[in-house]
Structure 1
Amino acid sequence: MSDRPTTAVVLAAGAGRRLSPLTNRRPKPMVPVANKPLLEYVIEAASAAGVEEFVLVVGYERERIQTHFGDGDDWDVSIRYVVQEKRLGTAHAVSQAEPHVDGSFLVLNGDRIVEPAAVADVRDALADGDEAAAMAVTRSDRPRAYGVVTVRGGRVETIVEKPPRRADSEVINAGVYAFTPAVFDAVRDTEPSEKGEYELPDTVARLVDDGGVRAVRYDGGWHDVSYLWDLLAVTDDVLDRDGGAVDGTLAPGAGVDDRCVVAPTASVGRGAVVAAGTTVGANARIDPNATVERSVVLPDATVEAGAVLRDCVVGAGADVGANATVRGGTATVAVAGELHEDVRLGAVVGDDASVGGAAALAPGTVLGTDAVVGDGASVSGRVEDGVTVRRG
């Protein structure tokens, strides 16, 4: 086989429920890291690896994706869209692209940041071998959160998605694949999961048995935003890799660290401090004497005078009142009934939520979309969408 695929099918239909409330109004691939959607990093990496055509499989809140990326001209690529009307799993999503690909092709997760080398190496491995597929694998210190892979003789031997107990390996599926058209028959033969969904790791397991799957070792940067606190850690990592860009309006006496991203239309007031690891989105405002450390402030949000935020995500259009406090640090956070201990998360303020003056949010607090915290109130835990919490 000599042809190297230059078309990538990108899976971008999911809702990302574990990232609620940030995904209440945007699909997970549009969650911003350093003021750029996750999906944009995916397209840029694949383009740098020589991919010219993209088929984006979209579904949940797809207008957000289609409006942002259009036909791909701004990235010098061609983008087409396929709608997964019912979210029946990642293998089903791949199958939706069958009429739009010709020959071998790549498949990428739309919410994982990888380097161009991951894409190029997987593409070349398929072209240079005789397997039905190639797949990037990498190491993780929490393999049970992903697809755990065992490798023998350069080929995938087993793949187990999110094993419930002990992981047999620290090697995981990195979410970068190259397939021959044989994958479509394998998808049709894939059995549904307990949730009634058709999952790509199960399809890969069929290909392991049928035609073999080349394992491509990848040791470069690999970033996944599965939980709210991951957004802060991944933002930190991307700022380490790419550096900052401070383009907004800074008042005299404002202090902004070089390892920050401040959008051109954002503003930072007199005496305010924006510390390393922070991003400030379009039209967001950091008022005088506020302090924002290792935080993500989304577009159109306001942090009022004297507020102190650490390890915090402030949603789009949200308002944090004067002298409010998010002290940051570690907490135990419940997600979908599962407790996660010692995670570094000050608070999440959902889109269009409001935190009153002198209010205090304990570590691990999550405020839903349109939630309201009254002046002087102290809040911990999760506050659901639209709920108002008052002092006392």
Structure 2
Amino acid sequence: MKALVLAGGTGSRLRPITHTAAKQLVPVANKPVLFYGLESLVAAGVDEIGIVVGDTAEEIRAAVGDGSRFGARVTYLRQERPLGLAHAVLIARDWLGDDDFVMYLGDNFIVGGITELVADFRAHRPDARILLTKVPDPRMFGVAELGPDGGVRGLQEKPAAPRSDLALVGVYLFTPAVHEAVRAIEPSDRGELEITDALQWLLDRRLTVQATTITGYWKDTGNVLDMLEVNRSVLETLDGAVEGDVDADSELIGRVRVESGAQVVRSRIVGPAVIGAGSVVRDSCIGPSTSVAENCVIEGSEVEFSIVLGGSRIDRAGRIEGSLIGRTVHVTGAPRAPRAHRLVLGDHSRVHITT
């Protein structure tokens, strides 16, 4: 069995972070989201992995390499433009051959992994298996309608009037039957080959499409709030550890991880939280659900429910919460300035200001 991991999207909902970084490599608890998916696949016994890449191919290659660090063998498959999930299957046809495969969206996060799901698929081998979860607004997702017996009755992609509240989670399992389906379907109104149309094609020909509804934690980390929620969820599972230096005037409360080379000076850190290698927290308070990446400096500030990426500095900036701060960003307070906001913002930035 192989795995097809999709890592070619543009990450428009995470701009401006994704202007300079692949969305699949934005870290959660100081580890890229993509890595959690690769680890889940290997844990499920799937170690031959094809990664579909686009404009951020070199960055993905640099981070993942040949896959050996994960216990996998990785092949990179170029997709010139993101033309839909079914299009990714189409371009991977030669590499997939006649093997069954898992298709895993590289920016999705499933707590608990997929080991049981893969084992069940191997045992029963339906033509396709999909994962579903209830969502408050199914119009934003592919949606499945189930019959009274739990069988899949139909599928729609981002419907204006959804027939159910069951959204497709970004993990799919297929036999080679799907290859005929992706060749047969036409692009949707948005110009993409939709995997929901391929699944519907299988259903229309009375092939077996089974569904598993999950009740555990799943997130598509495509926007800032979802990234922060996933970060919070992962931090809840971490054990505290102090590998760096914490002075006698500092206080660590709850599950706090201070990584090697990090320094905590005259500060209070309330877990769950992680302070990355080489970072310095001085005269500050770090609140729950916060990840500070490597080589950051936080001084004279409060940070809570946030992700701070590598090399950034927060200097006497007051209180920051619910924020995703990119790499090598400098946030500084200006206490003597008149009541005004001074901003230097890139394209597609979003700023929330209290007036």
Same fold? TM cut 0.5: yes
Could you tell me which residue of structure 2 aligns to residue 289 of structure 1? Answer: 283
Matched, 1:121 2:117: yes
Matched, 1:88 2:73: no
1:215, CA displacement in angstroms? 0.9
Percent identity at matched positions? Answer: 33
- Aligned pair partner of 1:227 in 214, 223, 229: 223
Matched, 1:36 2:31: yes
For the residue of structure 1 that corresponds to 2:114, the secondary structure is: helix
The verdict on how the C-alpha distance between 1:296 and 1:229 changes in structure 2, with shifts beyond 3 A counting, is: farther
* Structure 2 gap ranges (5+): none
**Is residue 12–residue 18 contact of structure 2 (8 Å, CA) maintained in 1?**
yes
The verdict on how the C-alpha distance between 1:265 and 1:187 changes in structure 2, with shifts beyond 3 A counting, is: farther
Distance 1:277 1:379 in 2: 32
The verdict on how the C-alpha distance between 1:123 and 1:283 changes in structure 2, with shifts beyond 3 A counting, is: same
- Aligned pair partner of 1:158 in 154, 157, 163: 154
The verdict on how the C-alpha distance between 1:248 and 1:276 changes in structure 2, with shifts beyond 3 A counting, is: same
Residues 182-218 of structure 1, C-alpha deviations (whole Å, 9 max, x = no match): 2122112222233322222222222222223111232
Q: Structure 2 length as normaliser, TM-score?
A: 0.86
- Aligned pair partner of 1:14 in 9, 27, 36: 9
Q: Structure 1 length as normaliser, TM-score?
A: 0.79
Distance 1:239 1:33 in 2: 8
1:1-80 correspondence runs (5 A): 6-80=1-75
Residues 268-292 of structure 1, C-alpha deviations (whole Å, 9 max, x = no match): 2x21122224333343322x21112
Matched, 1:254 2:250: yes
Could you tell me which residue of structure 1 aligns to residue 332 of structure 2? Answer: 356
**Is residue 16–residue 348 contact of structure 2 (8 Å, CA) maintained in 1?**
no
- Letter aligned with residue 240 of structure 1: E
The verdict on how the C-alpha distance between 1:289 and 1:195 changes in structure 2, with shifts beyond 3 A counting, is: same
For the residue of structure 1 that corresponds to 2:89, the secondary structure is: helix
1:126, CA displacement in angstroms? 6.0
**Is residue 25–residue 61 contact of structure 1 (8 Å, CA) maintained in 2?**
no
**Is residue 104–residue 179 contact of structure 1 (8 Å, CA) maintained in 2?**
yes
- Letter aligned with residue 226 of structure 1: G
The verdict on how the C-alpha distance between 1:284 and 1:127 changes in structure 2, with shifts beyond 3 A counting, is: same
Bigger relative contact order (CA 8 A; separation at least 6): 2
For the residue of structure 1 that corresponds to 2:286, the secondary structure is: strand
Distance 1:32 1:116 in 2: 18
- Aligned pair partner of 1:107 in 103, 106, 114: 103
1:56, CA displacement in angstroms? 1.0
Could you tell me which residue of structure 2 aligns to residue 319 of structure 1? Answer: 313
- For the aligned residues, what is the CA RMSD? 2.9
* Structure 1 gap ranges (5+): 1-5, 329-344, 360-373
1:178, CA displacement in angstroms? 1.2
**Is residue 154–residue 216 contact of structure 1 (8 Å, CA) maintained in 2?**
no
For the residue of structure 1 that corresponds to 2:211, the secondary structure is: strand
1:236, CA displacement in angstroms? 1.2
Could you tell me which residue of structure 1 aligns to residue 345 of structure 2? Answer: 383
For the residue of structure 2 that corresponds to 1:237, the secondary structure is: helix
For the residue of structure 2 that corresponds to 1:241, the secondary structure is: coil
For the residue of structure 2 that corresponds to 1:26, the secondary structure is: coil
**Is residue 246–residue 258 contact of structure 1 (8 Å, CA) maintained in 2?**
no
- Letter aligned with residue 318 of structure 2: T
**Is residue 155–residue 212 contact of structure 1 (8 Å, CA) maintained in 2?**
no
1:123, CA displacement in angstroms? 5.3
For the residue of structure 2 that corresponds to 1:66, the secondary structure is: helix
For the residue of structure 1 that corresponds to 2:215, the secondary structure is: coil
For the residue of structure 2 that corresponds to 1:201, the secondary structure is: helix
- Letter aligned with residue 13 of structure 1: G
**Is residue 320–residue 355 contact of structure 1 (8 Å, CA) maintained in 2?**
yes
1:381, CA displacement in angstroms? 9.8
The verdict on how the C-alpha distance between 1:276 and 1:100 changes in structure 2, with shifts beyond 3 A counting, is: same
Could you tell me which residue of structure 2 aligns to residue 273 of structure 1? Answer: 268
How many matched pairs?
A: 346
1:77, CA displacement in angstroms? 1.8
Matched, 1:237 2:199: no
For the residue of structure 1 that corresponds to 2:189, the secondary structure is: coil
**Is residue 44–residue 119 contact of structure 2 (8 Å, CA) maintained in 1?**
no
Residues 279-309 of structure 1, C-alpha deviations (whole Å, 9 max, x = no match): 33343322x21112233323333212x1122
Could you tell me which residue of structure 1 aligns to residue 303 of structure 2? Answer: 309
1:122, CA displacement in angstroms? 4.7
